Amino acid sequence: MSVQRATVLVGIDGSPDSDRALGWAADEAARLGMSLRIVHVAETATLDVAGRGAGEVSEALAEAGDRILQDGRGLALHRRPGLAVETTLVHDRNVPAGLRRYAGEAAEVVIGHRGRGGFTGLLLGSTALRVAGRFPGPVVVVRGPVDGTADEVVVGLDLVEDPAPALDHAFAAAAAREARLRALHAWRPAPLAAEAGVDVRTTGDTRRSHLSTVLAPWRDRHPGVKVAEDVVIGHPVEALATASAHADLVVVGSRGRRFPLGSVGHGVIHYARRPVAVVRPYD
């Protein structure tokens, strides 16, 4: 039996980056006709505070969490009046563990790229790294501006891994936005390929043909989505980060169970200029 997922889940901590993620999630829920669940995780690992009892600290964390949730609810409803919003305070050992409780019920999980307590110079927080690619379904790491007028969704494809999770999400996202979908495959010739007699142009043509074949079933299912096929020579992270500047969303797949977030996904969520969805199959 399939699970009906009609909620966008966003984790917040009251930081500016989390507020930006909340705004994006509210827009996404409204766009998809879904409800919004706002979750704040009070980390039980912080209960061991010298000089203060665990009960006292737990109560303080709960009070602070309630304030963060109420502020978040107000922000979401100010941005999207009439949106169905639910707030949830979770006590768990850390943020990823708390969010995981509800991730399987959500159509998407949304987080900011950095939260409270992180070093300002870091490009990506530890929570984003521990969540992206490790939860079932799409996890959106919100980076950059969320109020732009970009009319393109970019999906990165390596033509080796199963493309279905990423393409399912990318086509649905493009359709919901009435945006063009840009399917991007970046590749690099092997060192000394030319010296070995490899015809780079022919190899590129072969990859373009493969990309068209991969996309064909999704084109048939989504005839209203305009698709641009793009095969470039270069590093995939650099190509996707560059493409992100003109996109509303970048979509990449997850490597699987053993290696949930590959080097390309890791690099893209570090350097993309817009929100990135890392999509893992549902369990």
Residue 222 lies in a domain: yes
125-153 pLDDT, tens per residue? 577 778 887 888 999 999 877 776 678 99
Query: What is the CATH number for 116?
Result: 3.40.50.620
**280, 276, 281, 279: which is closest to 112 by C-alpha?**
276
**55, 90, 87, 56: which is closest to 74 by C-alpha?**
87
pLDDT, position 161: 86
Residue 272 tokens read as 């993309």
228 and 120 assigned to the same domain: no
Q: Give me the residues paired with residue 251 across strands.
A: 155, 277
Q: Which backbone phi and psi does 157 adopt, to 5 degrees? A: -130, 135
CB-based contact 87:73 (threshold 8 Å): yes
Q: CA-CA distance, 33 to 27, in Å (whole number)?
A: 10
198, amino acid identity: V
Could you give the number of structural domains in the chain? 2
Work out the percent of the chain whose per-residue pLDDT is above 70.
83
130 and 217 assigned to the same domain: no
- Among the listed ranges 1-5, 33-37, 39-43, 203-207, which one has the minimum average pLDDT value? 1-5
Range of the domain at 110: 7-142
CB-based contact 150:274 (threshold 8 Å): yes
Query: What is the CATH number for 252?
Result: 3.40.50.12370
171 and 69 assigned to the same domain: no
166 and 184 assigned to the same domain: yes
Q: CA-CA distance, 142 to 51, in Å (whole number)?
A: 37
157 and 62 assigned to the same domain: no
Instruction: Report pTM.
Output: 0.89
